[in-house]
Structure 1
């Protein structure tokens, strides 16, 4: 079993590498839906973790449900989505 620090390092590495790899294939602006798909695909690549978007009527439209072992984490991801959108727009404007 991995230590918490090893798992956090692997999580960050897989998540950011996946996001950057997927963004490299995109040449246009991103909608919120497209960003949510990027985030979901990236998180689904992290070992030992199950991820899905929560039902909008129960959790809100930008809530991730992340299960690792017996723990469930509910994450409101609007700030993450907005950050990716702003950074991507700035990148496109400066290329």
Structure 2
């Protein structure tokens, strides 16, 4: 992950899209699956949003909520969310 400069974002008219593996505004940044599981969340998901100068803070376009199984691992959660991310983008 790399934070983009405001000038770069502005040069594209603030129309750059990102996908993030959590239900923003919760769990911005890295290690989202680990933090979600540590906090015993019942749901998580993914978010498509416009890129803004502040990390993972742009206007939300779409979200998909996913139920977390009680035996979920970081690896299994990552796989489930990745599948949903692909569906959101299509």
Answer whether TM exceeds 0.5 for this pair.
Answer: no
Name the TM-score, length of structure 2 as normaliser.
0.26
Q: Radius of gyration: which is bigger?
A: 1
Structure (1 or 2) with the greater helix fraction:
1
Structure (1 or 2) with the greater strand fraction:
2
Name the TM-score, length of structure 1 as normaliser.
0.25
